[in-house]
Structure 1
Amino acid sequence: MTSVYDQLLVREHLAKAQPEPELSPEQQQFWIEQIKKDLHARNAVLIAHYYTPAVIQTLAEQTGGFIGDSLEMARFGAQHPAQTLIVAGVRFMGETAKILSPEKQVLMPTLEATCSLDIGCDAEEFAAFCAEHPEREVVVYANTSAAVKAKADWVVTSSIALKVVSHLREQGKKIIWAPDQHLGQYIQRSTGADMILWNGACIVHEEFKAKGILDLKKIHPTAAVLVHPESPQSVVEVADVVGSTSQLLKAASTLPNEVFIVATDRGIFYKMQQQNPTKRFLEAPTAGQGATCRSCAHCPWMAMNSLERLAATLTSEAEEIQVPPQLIEQALIPLKRMLSFQAE
């Protein structure tokens, strides 16, 4: 579990993470048409994460934008000719896009959209933690601030973390891993690497429960269980497939099962259902119901990516990502190392 201090920080941020009121179909259509016009007028492209609301993902598709994981989003933005990138996701994704495309303007629907992993890994505290173990290679998950990435030897996403850590282990390297302890433990078990783990967790994935999944499995005995490795070990152990968002999407398409129990943010259901219209996708049970549940299988910060906020940032440019040049220079080193490793 996350530390008491980190839980308090997350609670403070969650108090601000209120999604916009639900729009009527007429209101939705008004904002969609306005955003389409503004994107065209500004030569801007909309880049959305799989966990954002379905209406945002649909809009990205309709306007020649992109839907993907954080690294795919940043790579698309760097390769796209648009000079303005509208990143719908959480703040570290916007920062990563800016690091890889420093010459471009990067806007977000709201800079308040953050991540419990980012909140729980303060750059100064992490630097002190690393200083205690100077002989270790520092590997950080993409769900971290630019300042934390700048202190790393490697940045990884969940789709490449196992390969990178296996590579380092083969070289005899000992590792500092941050910030997600569940993903770190999964990698440690899978690779046998010598790893010291930072104590952080995702508020969405930490709430999935193995008992709830097994109970649901009794009702749907032929269902395949898809689990993101940010989930606790007990949840990972009941999975048929463990993987990143992209890997879970692939599994949903390639496995013969007609029903799937999915332990990750339910925002992914938009793309899963689109790619597999005849299959059925069920949310894995979480720790609470209603008001007692902090996330209920959906990141509250991802939910802040609304049409109204998106329209406002296109007009005002108030929610612009800024990363100091020195941090860009430092954080680019581990990011490029990962990109080069993937290309091999």
Structure 2
Amino acid sequence: MTHIPERLLVQAHLDAKRPVPLTPEQEAFYRSEIAAELKKQDAVLVAHYYCDPVLQALAEETGGCVSDSLEMARFGNQHPARTVVVAGVKFMGETAKILNPEKRVLMPTLEATCSLDLGCPIDEFSAFCDQHPDRTVVVYANTSAAVKARADWVVTSSCALEIVESLMDNGEKIIWAPDKHLGRYIQRETGADMLLWDGACIVHEEFKAKQLEDMKALYPDAAILVHPESPESVVELADAVGSTSQLIKAAQTLSNQTFIVATDRGIFYKMQQLCPDKTFIEAPTAGNGATCRSCAHCPWMAMNTLERTLQCLREGSNEIFVDPALIPRAMKPLRRMLDFTQAARLRLAGNA
């Protein structure tokens, strides 16, 4: 199985591409220009929780969407705009295009990818699946269009448990890819028979249990919120485990006033917006000091900027294209996920 370069090398490469921070005046200019272009071009901006807070705020202000990857996919599919601008990483743009092949999908940059996507190349994964033809193939949304097209189901972290439980109840054995930590978490929670691909998120894998225990000792009244892409030893310390949207919900519903958060720090924008009277602290990572190894932030998400967003709108650049032959095959597992989650929503509403 393919492994991406060590995070330090990835970060060093991406640091060279990082733009100079904007002044408040420059930021205001770009926000105004982007809003005007979105309106002019019948476009909508969708941003992931891990993006820069200024992009999240702009998406909200202009009638777009700030959410996890499941809601991003659903929103882009249902919104009437002819152009969808996806502030996130490349697989999110591909997902938007698969679900909306008739729409133009733009991204601030096409270089923003994901370690999970990079670590699951289609040729290796397809061969792996071919070795186990009796298993249902379930892939995380953090994968390429080609990998999705090879799958029976696509899931996000917010719906993976429920979908795997449903498959298990039907007696199905599963191939899971690419995140091994999320896969192990689901396996432990459900007892499902799962073969796991050996992939990991370079951000969440940096969280360490020992440092988290030390921080908990400093803040004994804090609740620990953990994304299940984190190592098992970190997940075991959590007061709440879940997707980005589920962690935000936990911050709202738990009575604690302080939270130690083990996921990308981009999520703090929405947490602080919804819980202004609560305190949120970044969970410690493996590094010591102000290095990339001590920063809980995806280096590819950081490549989404106001400048690049305006440029892609004005120039029509960084458009997402997906092989037309892949679209119907990738659409099927994505549509299964959306239909499953919609049915689950209706069941919950009926039980309310």
Matches within 5 A, 1:297-308: 297-308=296-307
- For the 8 Å contact 2:8–2:292, the answer to whether it is kept is no
CA shift in 2, pair 1:291/1:133, >3 Å? farther
Larger mean Cα displacement after TM superposition, 69-78 or 150-159: 69-78
In structure 2, the residue matched to 1:242 is 241
State the 1:55 CA deviation. 0.4
- State the TM-score, normalized to the length of structure 1: 0.96
1:17-166 aligned at under 5 Å gives the runs 18-166=17-165
**Aligned-partner Cα distance in 2 for 1:135–1:9:** 34
What's the CA shift for 1:312?
0.5
Give distance in 2, aligned partners of 1:153 and 1:84.
Answer: 28
Aligned-residue offset at 1:167: 1.0
Q: Contact 1:223/1:261 (CA < 8 Å) preserved in 2? A: yes
How far 1:7 sits from its partner (Å)?
3.1
1:117-144, CA deviations, whole angstroms, 9 ceiling, x for partnerless residues? 0000001110001001111000000000
Structure 1: state its 5+ residue gaps.
none
Structure 1 residue 293, shift from structure 2 partner = 3.5
Kindly provide the amino acid, as one letter, of the partner of residue 330 in structure 2.
A
Tell me if the contact between 1:203 and 1:295 (Cα under 8 Å) persists in the aligned partners: no
Q: Which amino acid aligns with 1:235?
A: V
Residue of structure 1 equivalent to 2:227: 228
User: Aligned letter for 2:76?
Assistant: G
Aligned to 2:349: none
Aligned to 2:198: 199
Aligned pairs for 1:251-330 (under 5 A) are 251-290=250-289, 292-294=291-293, 296-330=295-329
Distance in 1, matches of 2:291 and 2:29, equals 35
What is the CA distance between 1:292 and its match in structure 2?
A: 4.8
2:347 matched residue in structure 1: none
CA shift for structure 1 position 289: 3.3
Aligned length, in residue pairs: 341
Q: Provide the C-alpha distance between the structure 1 equivalents of 2:148 and 2:138, rounded to a whole number of angstroms.
A: 9
Question: 2:87, 2:107 within 8 Å by CA — same for their partners in 1?
Answer: yes
Shift of 1:168: 1.1
3-state SS of paired residue (1:7): coil
| Structure 1 stretch displaced more, 318-327 or 257-266 | 318-327
Structure-2-length-normalised TM-score: 0.94
Structure 2 residue ranges without an equivalent (≥5): 344-352
Deviation, 1:74, is 1.6
Q: Letter of the aligned partner of 2:79 in structure 1?
A: H
What amino acid maps onto 1:317 in structure 2?
G
| Paired residues of 2:258 and 2:280 also in contact (CA < 8 A) | yes
Secondary structure of the 2:217 match is: helix
Matches within 5 A, 1:182-193: 182-193=181-192
* RMSD between aligned residues: 1.4
Q: 1:10 to 1:153 in 2, by over 3 A?
A: farther
Against the structure 1 CA distance between its residues 284 and 139, is the aligned structure 2 distance closer, same or farther, given a 3 Å change threshold?
same
Does the CA-based 8 Å contact 1:225-1:261 persist in structure 2?
A: yes
Per-residue deviation, residues 55-90 of structure 1 (Å, max 9, x unmatched): 000111111111001121121111111100000000
One-letter amino acid of the structure 1 residue matched with residue 172 of structure 2 = K
User: Is residue 2:173 matched to residue 1:171?
Assistant: no
Q: What CA distance in whole angstroms lies between the structure 2 residues aligned with 1:153 and 1:107?
A: 27
1:106 and 1:321 in contact (8 A); partners too: yes
Q: d(CA) in 2 for partners of 1:227 and 1:9?
A: 23
For 1:326, what is the secondary structure of its paired residue?
coil
Which ranges of 4 or more aligned residues in structure 1 deviate by more than 4 Å? 9-14
